Amino acid sequence: MSRYFDEAAPKAILRDYPIGETFSSGIAQASRDEICALQERRFLALMGRAWGNPFYRRRWQAAGMEAGDIRHLDDLPKVPSFSKFDLMESVEAYPPFGDFIGPGGWTGGERVIMHTTSGTTGAPQPIFYGPRDREIQNALLARAYLLQGMRPDDVVHSVYGFGMVNGGHYIRETILHYTDALLLPAGTGLETRSEQQVELMRRFGATVIVGFADYILKLAEVARAAGLEPGRDVKIRMISGHLGEDGGAAISAAWGGAETYDWYGVGDTGIIAAEGPDRSGLYIWEDAHLLEILDPDTGAPLADGERGNICDTVLFKDSVYPVIRFDTKDVSTVLPGQGGLGFGLRRLAGFQGRSDNMVKLRGINVYPTGVAVILREMPELGGEYICRVDKLEGRDVMTVVCETEDANAGLHDRVVALLRQRLGVGVEVELTGPGGTAEASQLNQRQKPIRLLDQRK
């Protein structure tokens, strides 16, 4: 018999990382002093264990650190941050798994769960979990779903991908282990055709969709093409996922006014923050995470209200693969003040782009993922696009390729003018027919479609 759940100890997890009403009346109501004291206890225990990890010991000793140097939470910035680049460098130097998965690497003696990233920004990175930290991240996602209003009678349609990527498995485990809702694990359009997904939602009475914004929008278009009206024939009442910079307005409209909720996390960390019913930012699960915002150029911590890279320390991952000061390269802002629910937890603005996927055009920073919300202002456009960057005559030029059913010179010129106004810099525009960007963006194959083709390299 597998020892997975014996090692995970779910009852202890729900005591230490509560969900539902126990969360809302407990840690969410704690004072800043109480939250920081809990974080410090968990952080110092994590640091003590992490010195036994070869990846951290190698990096920290190279930076002149010694065990015992970190004595307080205020010492956190003294610990060198790392990114996916460092993990992939470790994999190359210590194949096939790298030296970041525990003392001496994994030899099969420990209970280990392995997935990979999607490879959106490069080669897929291996990710490892122990039973306890895997189940804690599952419970923390259930915390978000319950706060947002998921009910036991909900039928949840998930468009997160399966295969080696973490996404679909993560959502399945969360809903199965920590909610009473029924799950339809459809996956991406590659795993279950979009037309079939719409019919499954209609037939089985789906009430909730979870996934990435781009594909959820596509499903609304597919439903209409099949003669089904979202919100009437497919009665979706709630959508929870990764909504982009428009806060879910486009998705809500596409699905007949469904309530939309955002949340943020990456494969290495699990969920970090989630939006609540007050819609005043994403509450950071501070009992489980130490979140910083770093200057993308210097790595220095920034004050609340300043935009920079999300850097996360996972306070519960202390076995197979600790995560201490992981620079995600995702860009966001910690919001000052208190949210509408009165929680003592800090709040995150949500995903605002990637610093390693940013294009600098004549001194202006342009985030390709942020182009989506601009294009949605024009109803003539289908919403699908891809940005292509080339070097022409010594300067960088970005072309935004947009899908539309009515390509004409007038529309082209209006798109050029809109993008110049909103981005603060001129870009080229190409109009293509419906589905014209799908092969390049891999919308139907990936959880997160590709939005930048960098042809300068």
What's the pLDDT tens digit per position in 262-290? 999 999 999 999 999 999 999 999 999 99
Q: Rounded distance, CA 166 to CA 160, Å?
A: 9
What residues does 157 pair with on adjacent strands?
184, 209
CB-CB contact of 171 with 160 (8 Å): yes
**Are the beta carbons of 100 and 321 closer than 8 angstroms?**
yes
Is the pLDDT assigned to residue 16 strictly greater than 90?
Answer: yes
Per-residue pLDDT band at 123 (split at 50, 70, 90): confident
Q: Domain boundaries in the chain?
A: 4-133+270-351, 358-454
- The alpha carbon of 241 is separated from its chain's Cα centroid by a whole number of angstroms, namely 9
The answer, yes or no, to whether residue 107 has pLDDT greater than 60, is: no
What per-residue confidence (pLDDT) applies to 359?
85
Percent of the chain with pLDDT over 90: 73
Q: β-strands 381-392, 364-366: how paired?
A: unpaired
Please check whether residue 13 is in contact with residue 5, taking contact to mean a CB–CB distance below 8 angstroms: no
For residues 18-30, give the mean pLDDT: 98
pLDDT over 90 (residue 231): yes
Classify 239 as helix, strand or coil. Answer: strand
pLDDT for 69-95, tens place per residue? Answer: 999 999 999 999 999 999 999 999 998
pLDDT score of 353? 83
Q: How many whole angstroms separate alpha carbon 115 and alpha carbon 192? A: 21
Does the fold of domain 358-454 match that of domain 4-133+270-351?
Answer: no
Topology at the third CATH level for domain 4-133+270-351: Rossmann fold (3.40.50)
Architecture of domain 358-454: 2-Layer Sandwich (3.30)
In the predicted model, is pLDDT for residue 446 greater than 80?
no
